[in-house]
Structure 1
């Protein structure tokens, strides 16, 4: 029998769907096979968390589990009061009553033919790099049973988006359609890009020479490098806007912009610069003007 799904996810019996979802996301990120290649323990932990999430995220299954009708694997449990007696299967549990009559009555409703039923949705978690989410890509998702799904991540995908793959969930019953695969996307942070809606921000280090004299540099952007002109007498905090270089247009959204904030970086000072600064005073400039309390 599978372990208690509440214990696997580390949530209370009265946990909300949001708490269950958050607990599963945390475990899925930690134990995902793609992040732990060859780690059997992590693979088993990922499978257990996925199975627990599948049961507890389904309100009907969760209610049946809480009532003791199914176990953690989803298998039917024997009715309460049933036990193996010395007079035959189930005799001791019903005080010697007629076994066939009792069970015929108990399962009368279950014995009727059931119509087609749609399969349950399956929920998974997938991590995408920042640029993969911005520009779009296709990633392979490894399922708990070892199978894989190729997931198309549209450009402009944001952290927490849920992608739906029709018919890739649990199979239907009695000829019913299969459920869907619901894949929640986590977007990993980038080392210098930051997303704000459709816009992307970045800090750009420039040298003292570039700040004073200006010049052309090569700037990395989500869509590839571009040439950027730095105006003379630029300073830290100066912001430049590259229109259309943010998140590409998608759905009903226009393309965003890339907002570049300059950051003057002195770097190693050589003897010539030190000698110059010893004899040079910048007229009428106090960098700490206004810093009074």
Structure 2
């Protein structure tokens, strides 16, 4: 894989917020669903995912910056020995360095540089020189430590109503796997859904990592959200506002009939109880419908003349100064 910083278009001192922002932008632009049949776009998407996996993990990022792992997360070998520790030649491996020392260094590096004094051959009865009765042809469990698989990250875009009501959607993971996932009601933009065991496979029998699915909600032309309440601006005609009427109003569950009171002004708000978003305890918020009185789209001379005559007979002020 290319340098992950270059893949995301970032400098090496980029913050985690900058990394996340760059990933979101590039993942949206290169998502395979937007480029059906384009193998190059799919490869770019995989590279973007892999770069984000490495740089969003503080430990792996630090190891990469120190040169301990490559862009694919594999341990690096440096000239003159492991981790740059030169060993001059004695017995073929270095000055004073036994075959046991070389493998001990290798095992420590595979762990990420920690546990420097942990001897991977200690289970063989006094080190590499003496094998115990449990030896079965390998180097023992300590040379191949178990490690849980890495967490993978991806994103899923939902309509407002899908996020509000909950839904079942297909998500494509960075591993190439496609899953149908159940999104519970009430997810907010930027929240993540954890899929246990759907990340990268573990090493040597360790459990797989998880997948974190970040939810993105597309802006809706009608609905907005405040807490668990849904808000909606609803246009009404002049006759409906003056005389009152029963009209249809959209909700996240589908259209319902509402009553517009007589003499309703723009800004008059109707409350629809229980038509909001369901919370974790099962209770639902409300929907608030704000009325917007709209004039006819086209100019009507008859209507304009009527209003002029009425205004001359019954003038009134809506901007009176308050003392």
- TM-score scaled to structure 1, two decimals? 0.87
Provide the C-alpha distance between the structure 1 equivalents of 2:168 and 2:46, rounded to a whole number of angstroms.
23
Aligned residues: 280
Tell me if 1:228 matches 2:258.
yes
Name which structure has the greater RCO, CA cutoff 8 Å, separation 6+: 1
Q: Secondary structure at the match of 1:22?
A: helix
Question: For 1:209-288, what aligned pairs fall within 5 Å after superposition?
Answer: 209-247=239-277, 249-252=278-281, 254-267=283-296, 268-281=298-311, 283-288=314-319
Root-mean-square deviation (Å): 2.3
Checking the alignment, whether the CA contact within 8 Å between 1:34 and 1:142 is kept in structure 2 is no
1:253 shift after superposition: 6.3
- For structure 1, the 5+ residue unaligned runs are 83-92
Specify the alignment match of 1:108 in structure 2: 104
Specify the alignment match of 2:16 in structure 1: 17
Specify the alignment match of 1:208 in structure 2: 238
1:98 shift after superposition: 4.5
1:164 shift after superposition: 0.6
Provide the C-alpha distance between the structure 2 equivalents of 1:231 and 1:172, rounded to a whole number of angstroms.
63
- TM-score scaled to structure 2, two decimals? 0.79
Specify the alignment match of 1:78 in structure 2: 77
1:215 shift after superposition: 0.6
Checking the alignment, whether the CA contact within 8 Å between 1:120 and 1:169 is kept in structure 2 is yes
1:192 shift after superposition: 0.9
Specify the alignment match of 1:45 in structure 2: 44
Output one character per residue of 1:178-207: Cα deviation in whole Å (capped at 9) or x when no partner.
111111111111111001110111111001
Largest Rg, 1 or 2: 2
Provide the C-alpha distance between the structure 2 equivalents of 1:241 and 1:6, rounded to a whole number of angstroms.
50
1:182 to 189, 194, 212: 212
Q: Secondary structure at the match of 1:236?
A: coil
1:242 shift after superposition: 0.8
Provide the C-alpha distance between the structure 1 equivalents of 2:315 and 2:307, rounded to a whole number of angstroms.
16
Provide the C-alpha distance between the structure 2 equivalents of 1:60 and 1:239, rounded to a whole number of angstroms.
52
Q: Secondary structure at the match of 2:14?
A: coil
